[in-house]
Chain A
Amino acid sequence: MTLAPTLQVREFVEIPCTVDIPYRFAAGKYLSRFLVELRDNGRFLGIRCPVCKRVQLPPRIVCAVCHVRNSEWVELGLEGTLTAFTIMHLPLTDPTTGKPHKPPFCYGSVRLDGSDSVVDYFLNVEPSMRRLRVGMRMRVVLKPRESRKGDLTDILYFDPVD
Chain B
Amino acid sequence: MKRNVAIIGGGQTHHAGRRPDVNQGELVNEAVRAALTDAQVAIDEIDAVLLGNMEFFEGTHLTDCWLVDATGALGKPGLKITTGGTVGASIVCAGVYHVASGLFDKVLCIGFEKQEEGDTGAILSAVAHPLYGRSVAGAAVGYFAMMGASYMAAWGATEVHSAMVAVKARQNACKNEYAHLRLNITIDDVLSSRMLAYPIRILDMCPASNGACALVLADQKTAEDRCAKPVWIRAMETVHNEQFEFDWRDVTTSKPMFSRVAAHNIYKRLGVQDPAQYFDVFEIYEPATWAELVWYEDLGLCPRGEGFKLIENGVTEIGGPIPVNPSGGVLSTNPIGASAMLRIWEAALQIRGDAGGRQVPKEVRRALATAYGGTNWTVLTALSKDLED
Q: Name A128's closest neighbour in chain B (CB-CB).
A: B198
Q: Which of A41-97 contact B (CB under 8 A)?
A: 56-58, 60, 64-65, 83-90, 92-97
Number of interface residues of A (CB under 8 A): 47
Q: Which of A83, A89, A96 is the one whose CB lies under 8 Å from B250?
A: A83
Looking at B123, B130, B132, B150, the one whose CB has the most chain A CB atoms below 10 A away is B132
**Contact status of A93 and B133, CB under 8 A, knowing A14-B20, A107-B142:** no
Cβ B132 vs Cβ A152 within 8 A: yes
Task: Provide the bound-state CA to CA distance between A152 and B134, in Å.
Answer: 9
Compute how far the CA of A120 lies from the CA of B246 in the bound complex, rounded to whole angstroms: 10
A77 CB to closest chain B CB (Å) equals: 19
Interface contact A120-B137, CB-CB below 8 Å: no
Interface residues of A in 78-127 (CB under 8 A from B): 83-90, 92-98, 100-101, 107-109, 117-118, 120-122
A151 and B131 contact, CB distance less than 8 A? yes
Residues of A within 8 A of B200 (CB): 86
Within 8 A of A (CB), among B261-286: none
Pair B245/A117 contact, Cβ less than 8 Å? yes
* B247 shortest CB reach to chain A, Å: 9
Chain A residues closer than 8 Å to B243, beta-carbon distance:
60, 64
Within 8 A of A (CB), among B110-138: 119, 121-123, 125-126, 129-138
Beta-carbon contact of A89 and B196 below 8 Å:
yes
Nearest opposing residue in chain A for B144, CB measure: A86
User: Of the candidates A84, A117, A118, A152, which one forms a contact with B135 in the assembled complex, judged by CB atoms under 8 Å apart?
Assistant: A152
Please indicate the chain A residues that have their CB under 8 angstroms from the CB of B137 in the complex.
92-95, 100-101
User: What residues of B have a CB within 8 angstroms of the CB of A134 in the complex?
Assistant: 149-150, 153
What is the minimal beta-carbon distance from B265 to any residue of chain A, in angstroms?
16
Closest Cβ–Cβ distance, residue B135 to chain A (whole Å) = 5
Bound-state CA distance A60–B149 (Å) is: 29
Given A58-B244, A90-B121, A95-B123, does the pair A129, B146 have CB atoms closer than 8 Å?
no
Give the residues in chain B near A17, CB-CB below 8 Å. 59
Chain A 10-50: CB-based contact to B (< 8 A → 1; otherwise 0): 00101001010001010100010001000000000000000
Q: Contact check, A12 vs B149: say whether CB atoms are below 8 A apart.
A: no
A23 to B134, CA, bound (A): 14
Please, which residues of chain B bring their CB within 8 A of the CB of A88? Answer: 138, 141-142, 145, 196-197
B250 cross-chain contacts in A, Cβ below 8 A:
83-84, 109, 118
Contacts of B194 in A (CB 8 A): 89
User: B249: CB under 8 A from chain A?
Assistant: yes
Whether the pair B146, A19 counts as a contact (CB closer than 8 A) is no
Given the known inter-chain contacts A12-B20, A19-B59, please indicate yes or no for A87 contacting B134, CB distance below 8 A. no
Q: When the two chains form the complex, which single residue of B126, B195, B197, B245 contacts A95, counting CB atoms closer than 8 Å?
A: B126
Q: Point out the residues of chain B lying under 8 angstroms from A96, CB to CB.
A: 130, 134-135
Instruction: Output the nearest chain A residue to B200 by Cβ-Cβ distance.
Output: A86
Residues of B near A93 (CB, < 8 A) are: 119, 121-122, 125, 137
B139 within 8 A of A: yes
Within the complex, the shortest CB–CB distance from B108 to chain A, in Å, comes to: 26
Decide yes or no whether B44 CB sits under 8 A from chain A: no
Provide the B46-90 mask, 1 if CB < 8 A to any CB of A, else 0.
Answer: 000000000000010000000000000000000000000000000
Determine how close the nearest CB of chain B comes to the CB of A92; give it in whole angstroms. 4
Asked whether, in the complex, the Cβ of A87 is within 8 Å of the Cβ of B20, the reply is no
Q: A64-B242, A121-B136 are in contact. Are A87 and B131 (CB under 8 A)?
A: no
Q: Enumerate chain A residues within 8 angstroms of B129, measured Cβ to Cβ.
A: 58
A101 to B133, CA, bound (A): 14
- Could you tell me the distance between the alpha carbons of A109 and B194 in the complex, rounded to whole angstroms? 24
A24 shortest CB reach to chain B, Å: 10
Instruction: Chain A residues near B389: list those with CB within 8 A.
Output: none
Q: A84-B149, A134-B150 are in contact. Are A107 and B131 (CB under 8 A)?
A: no
Give chain B's interface residues, CB within 8 Å of chain A. Answer: 20-21, 59, 119, 121-123, 125-126, 129-139, 141-142, 145-150, 153, 194-200, 242-245, 249-250
Contacts A92-B139, A95-B135 known; 13 new A-B pairs at CB < 8 A: A25-B130, A84-B146, A84-B147, A87-B197, A89-B198, A93-B125, A95-B125, A96-B130, A109-B146, A109-B250, A117-B244, A120-B133, A120-B138
A-B contact pairs, 22 of them (CB 8 A): A19-B59, A35-B131, A64-B242, A84-B146, A86-B149, A86-B198, A86-B199, A87-B145, A87-B195, A90-B121, A90-B197, A93-B119, A93-B137, A94-B136, A95-B126, A101-B137, A107-B142, A108-B146, A109-B249, A117-B244, A120-B133, A152-B132
A contact residues vs B (CB 8 Å cutoff): 9, 12, 14, 17, 19, 23, 25, 27, 31, 35, 56-58, 60, 64-65, 83-90, 92-98, 100-101, 107-109, 117-118, 120-122, 129, 133-134, 151-153
- 6 tightest A-B CB contacts, nearest first: A86-B145, A64-B242, A84-B146, A87-B198, A93-B122, A19-B59
